[in-house]
Amino acid sequence: MIESKKDGLIYAFITVIITVPCFVFYCLSIEKGGILNIDYKFALTLIPIEFILAYLSEIFIGSPLSKKLAFKTVSPKDYKPVIVETAIICSTVCIMCPLMSFFATILYKGLFPVFVFHQTGITLNSFLIKFVPNFLQTVVLNFPFALLGQLFFIQPLVRRIFPKLKKTFKF
């Protein structure tokens, strides 16, 4: 299905277009205590920011590392394509979920990994007390949604859309 670097970029683009709005509304609904409490104007301003972060992260970090990780456990020669694709999806989620949760902790909670400089040196108190627990909580809350969403909704949808787009636009 993905035959060239260009195909991979387009496949990642389609995946991110579907994934980012889902996660923006999911994260904001958790942060605000429900989908009805979301400020939709704020959500719509976050979508382009997260899209850029997710697309660049997927291209330069997620995709290359996930394939290496998946191929360490599952060989395309020895397993059926569905098993190989599932291993790649799971590996991608294991890489991208913490990475995007890092960005979400900064964007949604306004917490930056800040080091405080004192005369005695750098302290990590503010970093450890505020950022790390919020980041870890974000990862734990996002991971099940990311894994199940990618396995059962997003990737099957992208696998249906991609060949049709490729045939229509002849790229």
- Delimit the domains of the chain by residue range: 5-97+143-169
Indicate the residue type of 34: G
pTM value is 0.87
In this predicted structure, what is the pLDDT of residue 169? 87
Q: Which of 41-45, 74-78, 167-171 has the lowest mean pLDDT?
A: 167-171
Cα radius of gyration rounded to whole Å, the chain: 18
Q: Which of 19-33, 105-119, 150-164 has the lowest mean pLDDT?
A: 105-119
pLDDT classification of 130: cutoffs 50, 70, 90: confident
Q: Which of 37-41, 80-84, 119-123, 139-143 has the lowest mean pLDDT?
A: 119-123
**Alpha carbon distances (Å) from 49 to 24, 65, 108, 149:** 10, 23, 12, 21
10, containing H or E segment: helix 5-32
Specify the 3-state DSSP secondary structure of 121.
Answer: strand
22, containing H or E segment: helix 5-32
The backbone torsions φ and ψ at residue 34, rounded to the nearest 5 degrees and listed phi first, read: 145, 155
In this predicted structure, what is the pLDDT of residue 57? 97
Of the chain, the percentage scoring pLDDT greater than 70 comes to: 90
pLDDT classification of 147: cutoffs 50, 70, 90: very high
Inform me whether the pLDDT recorded for 124 exceeds 90: no
